[in-house]
Structure 1
Amino acid sequence: MALNRKKRAEWLIQNLNLERELNVADIGARLTNEKPGYRLIMGAGAAQLHAFEPEPLAFAELEEAKPERTTLYNAAVGKPGKATFYAHQLGSLSSVFKFSEACARYLNKGFWTKREITEIPMTLVALDKVKGFPKLDLLKMDVQGAELDVMKGGPETLSEAVMVIPEVRFYQMYEDEPTWAELDTELRRQGFVLHKFLHQKSVVLSSRRWKQFKRKAGSQLLDGDAVYIRNMEAPEKLSDFQLKALALLADAVAESYDLCAFCLTLLQDRGAIASHVVGHYMGRVPEEALKEPEEAPQPADPVGAAKV
């Protein structure tokens, strides 16, 4: 009997017997908007969200609202030192990198350049230097090109993390924005490997006929959310808690059911969870992820039976 995501997350939490709550950071998240998979874990009381808001008034408002299971930090994370934040009227385009007008023209997004951009001076701090910040189990980032700087500033904070979900850029939107290749190299240097993409975004390029194309026909890759996980080629290097955290995040956040089963199998072999958990989990995996049951095998002909 397959369960929905929420009930399956609750079942996993109950059967994993987590030693502590997971520490999750979502840098660049808008706390009132989307509800990513880790909120299922928060809702079940098994994760704490650590979020940043550098603007003092906005921080005060959020602090007053006291978001459930959320700890706020009045800081901006990135390459340490003075920086300019280019606040775009379309908030999702705001960045510490200057927007590329040539990119907007090529991508048929000229309206991006017609919106107001406000330059805001700020001081950035390395992730490892944020006062009171815990070591993370999951880091999610959508900081419009600054993902590499966040990673470079957080090796200690991320030393025990099992999953990182950065927005990766396939086509540079900002001047001097680091490439995906550079970010991938840093993630691998810190022990993470690419696991999957949650989604990829493409755009329809400009021409006198562009309006005749469906949006899904857009051929130019722009960006997407990638899932990186701790390298699992030597799983004996991971603690029981790291495997439990990865199993839970694999299902609830990445919807990687085979990865969850992989971690559960390792935990079962270690005696860290009950022997029935893997089998019972498979009965809760969405049916579309599983093969159809094979037909029952036909009995073999008796030895010496005549062939018709």
Structure 2
Amino acid sequence: MIDFTNWLCGEKINIIDIGARMTPGEAPIYQNLIKNNLCTITAVEPDTSTNELLVKLSNAKIYNLALGTKGLSYLNICQLPSCSSLLEPDTETLSKYSGMEYFYNVIDRVSLHVDEMDDIFQDEIFDFLSIDVQGAELNVLENGRRNLSNLLGIHIEVSFIEKYKGQPLFRDVDTFLAGNDFSFHCFTGYGTRSPRGIEIDNSPINGINQWLWADAFYFHNLYDIDFWKEPGKLIKLACIFHNLYKSYDFSAHCLKIHDHQFGSNYLSEYASLISNLTNTCIKSSSDENTYLAKIAQKINYN
């Protein structure tokens, strides 16, 4: 593992985890940052029953509240607690897939007050957002634009079907984030199911190719020159790309931009470390056309 501590010059990556519910044996996406003492954590979760797990995170601040649009609302408590949501499950859609409807069965409704992210965190500057609030993600972001404008990256659950009534889908979230200077990078996991009544390998929760939801990572547009004027931001994003997603090429790209803007020499050091660690050759490219011309010639010849 490459140690970013010296490059960060004592700074920590400030993480906010909204919908921070944990289950025993589960590790958050930012576990490697915890392991290497590279982050601070603010955990937001209305369900107090998981606090005993959240307190084990590295010096986490815990806020037991719900974020979205300010006002009185209801939390739909589902058969599987991690499926509980401010939105009502869409049983018509869920009934079309195997192993879904039972988990989303509402067993209780709890009245609660919902706060807006920008009201609760008026002065914080977060670097990384992890958010999984079962269909209400876009509502949280729309009421957290000040905080959104400071983020380097967002790890967010997105859905391709309406598991909840009126739930914004991936296309809606993607459009919103693109309109706020964020670029899609990758999916990091997905949920799949078969059609209702079909089982794969004797299990109703083993689908094959039908994606229903996924986790996605977005990063602030690297061409936004004004945003990246602060040197620590590029190092933090490089650290995120490296430790959370193994996106060594984009980590190297952040370091290359940093070298160009601030006169450092981090890319060459990083490339050497990556070569020893993964046998991946990374270098700064100045002329790719010669390489591409050979490929084009070969294709045209065939």
TM-score by length of 2: 0.82
- Name 2:69's counterpart in structure 1: 79
- 1:141 paired with 2:131, answer yes
* One-letter amino acid matched to 1:166: I
Alignment CA distance shift 1:110-1:189 (3 Å): closer
Mapping 1:110-259, distance limit 5 Å: 112=102, 115-131=105-121, 134-207=124-197, 210-211=199-200, 218-235=208-225, 237-238=227-228, 239-259=230-250
Q: CA deviation at 1:211?
A: 4.3
Q: CA deviation at 1:133?
A: 5.9
The one-letter code matched in structure 1 to 2:120 is V
Cα shift at 1:128:
0.7
| 2:13 paired with 1:22 | yes
The AA in structure 2 aligned to 1:38 is: Y
SS at match of 2:195: coil
C-alpha offsets along residues 195-246 of structure 1, whole Å, 9 cap, x if unaligned? 1111222211124x54468876523220000010111234464121111111
Give the C-alpha shift of residue 35 in structure 1.
1.7
The alpha carbon displacement at 1:105 in A equals 1.4
Give unpaired runs (5+ residues) of structure 2: 283-302
C-alpha spacing 1:32/1:217, structure 2 compared with 1 (3 Å) = closer
2:21 and 2:50 in contact (8 A); partners too: no
**Per-residue deviation at 1:265?**
1.1
In structure 2, relative to structure 1, the CA distance for the partners of 1:219 and 1:66 (3 Å cut) is closer
44 and 278 in structure 1: CA distance in 2 versus 1, 3 angstrom threshold? closer
1:280 to partner: Cα distance: 2.4
Q: 1:146-201: CA deviations, max 9, x gaps? A: 11011111111122211001100011101111122221122122211111111222
Q: Which moved more, 1:26-35 or 1:196-205?
A: 26-35
**Residue 80 of structure 1: how far off its partner (Å):** 1.6
Percent identity, aligned pairs only?
A: 24
TM-score under structure 1 length normalisation: 0.80
Q: In structure 2, do the counterparts of structure 1 residues 67 and 135 end up closer, same or farther at CA, with 3 Å as the change threshold?
A: same
Q: Residues 21-79 of structure 1, C-alpha deviation per residue, up to 9 Å, x if partnerless?
A: 11101111224542234232223222101011335x5487679x574321112321112
In structure 2, how many angstroms separate the alpha carbons of the residues matched to 1:111 and 1:42? Answer: 35
- Alpha carbons of structure 1 residues 119 and 170: separation in structure 2 relative to 1, 3 Å: same
Tell me if the contact between 1:25 and 1:140 (Cα under 8 Å) persists in the aligned partners. yes
> Which of residues 245, 254, 273 is equivalent to 1:281?
273
Partner AA of 2:275 in structure 1:
G
Describe the SS at the equivalent of 2:102: helix
Indicate if the aligned counterparts of 1:53 and 1:76 stay in contact, CA closer than 8 A. Answer: yes
1:162 and 1:114, CA in 2 relative to 1: closer, same or farther beyond 3 A? closer
CA distance in 1, matches of 2:261, 2:10: 16
Q: Note closer, same or farther for the CA distance 1:242–1:90 as it changes in structure 2 (3 Å cut).
A: same
Which structure has the higher relative contact order (CA within 8 Å, separation 6+)?
1
What is the match of residue 305 of structure 1? Answer: none
Distance 1:69 1:232, change over 3 A: same
- Secondary structure of the residue that 1:183 maps to in structure 2? helix
Q: Deviations over 1:113-146 (max 9, x none)?
A: 6855210111111111115661210001111101
Distance 2:274 2:261 in 1: 19
Cα distance in 2 for partners of 1:32, 1:114 equals 17
Match of 1:105 among 95, 98, 103: 95
Match of 2:86 in 1: 96
The structure with more radius of gyration: 1
Which residue number corresponds to residue 31 of structure 2?
A: 39
Change (3 A) 1:252 1:74: same
Contact kept? 2:89, 2:104, Cα under 8 Å: no
